[in-house]
Amino acid sequence: MNDDKRLIFYIDAYSPETIPMAKLADYMAEFAALLGKDNAVHFAGVEDGSTKIAARVEFEDLPKVTARLHDIRRGTPPKDAAKIFDQIDTKLANDNAVGRIFVEGEDGAASAELLTFPGRTRPKAQSYGPFPQDGHLDGLLVAVGGITENVPLRLQNGDTTYSNCDTTRAIARELGKHLFEPIRIHGSGRWLREADSKWTLIRFRVHRFEVLNAASLRDTVTVLRAVRGSGWTDMDDPLAELDDLRRDNDELH
């Protein structure tokens, strides 16, 4: 045990007296997961000043733990370590904090910094667009009507509502005959790519539409499985596969 080393995870935004217990527990769990060697890493306390979570790493496994941290620093981390690093860095950014991990030297002195977390200092993600793209949207027609020349309409697709849609009065007159029916609208859209990589619909101008078959997904799968050589009989979860195909068709490129 005398040859064991202490690794310190330093967080500048809190002191041990001010950090909420649940938040401290989250950081401790993430720190342990980042180091990777479950049986060789032991909690060694929380130190005074800014929050410093100390972990004692057994001597035999210290090279593996430090090599893992060096790989993250060099940009060549194992997949699980990269994910955990991002999770910790996001937590720090949300807490307006930065962090670092260093190995403690003799008599408690810090001898080497192993890893830094930019946290609040990392570049802010930006949104991009809007981008124009022709395409289509599927959903249940739940509203159509208005007094302007550009008639608004709304589609409901599961938990998603497309409300920024409009069309001409002539098309709206025909759409009104299919209220609460599944339809596919074709037209030109303007999309914004958000900082979290999600797409937000700014406006969709409908040029034409078609009424969709109201058959359920399960009925569709039954039909597909009856086609010889289709491959659908070999799928463990054909409903999920259909949903993936629908999402792929709707995704912008």
Beta strands in the chain (DSSP E): 5-11, 41-47, 51-57, 99-104, 110-117, 128-144, 151-157, 160-167, 182-193, 199-211
- Rounded to whole angstroms, what are the CA distances from 49 to 15, 22, 25, 252? 6, 19, 18, 49
Q: Specify the pLDDT at position 100.
A: 94
The string of pLDDT tens digits covering residues 174-213 is 999 999 999 999 999 999 888 777 888 999 999 999 999 8
Using CA atoms, how far apart are residues 207 and 167, in angstroms rounded to an integer?
Answer: 7
Q: Please report, for the chain, the start and end positions of each structural domain, with discontinuous segments joined by +.
A: 5-121, 128-250
The arrangement of secondary structure in 128-250, i.e. its CATH architecture, is: Beta Barrel (2.40)
Instruction: Dig out the tokens for 147 from the structure.
Output: 């007094």
User: Residue 220 region, left (φ>0) first, then alpha (ψ -120 to 50), else beta?
Assistant: alpha
Using CA atoms, how far apart are residues 90 and 12, in angstroms rounded to an integer?
Answer: 15
Q: Does this model's pTM top 0.75?
A: no
Taking the mean position of all CA atoms in its chain, how far away is CA 152?
Answer: 31
Share above pLDDT 70 across residues of the chain, in percent, rounded to a whole number: 81
The arrangement of secondary structure in 5-121, i.e. its CATH architecture, is: 2-Layer Sandwich (3.30)
Same-fold call for 5-121 versus 128-250: no
- Burial group, residue 116, by CB count within 10 angstroms (0-12, 13-18, 19+): middle
Q: Is the pLDDT of residue 221 over 70?
A: no
Q: Specify the pLDDT at position 108.
A: 56
Instruction: Dig out the tokens for 8 from the structure.
Output: 């310190």
Q: Specify the pLDDT at position 252.
A: 47
Which residues have C-beta within 8 Å of that of residue 228, sequence separation ≥ 6?
A: none
What is the DSSP secondary-structure string of 217-248? HHHHHHHHHTSTT-SGGG-S-HHHHHHHHHHH
Using CA atoms, how far apart are residues 14 and 51, in angstroms rounded to an integer?
Answer: 6
Per DSSP bridges, beta strands 151-157 and 160-167 are antiparallel
Element housing 35 (H / E): helix 21-35
Q: Specify the pLDDT at position 250.
A: 47
Which residues have C-beta within 8 Å of that of residue 156, sequence separation ≥ 6?
A: 139, 140, 142, 162
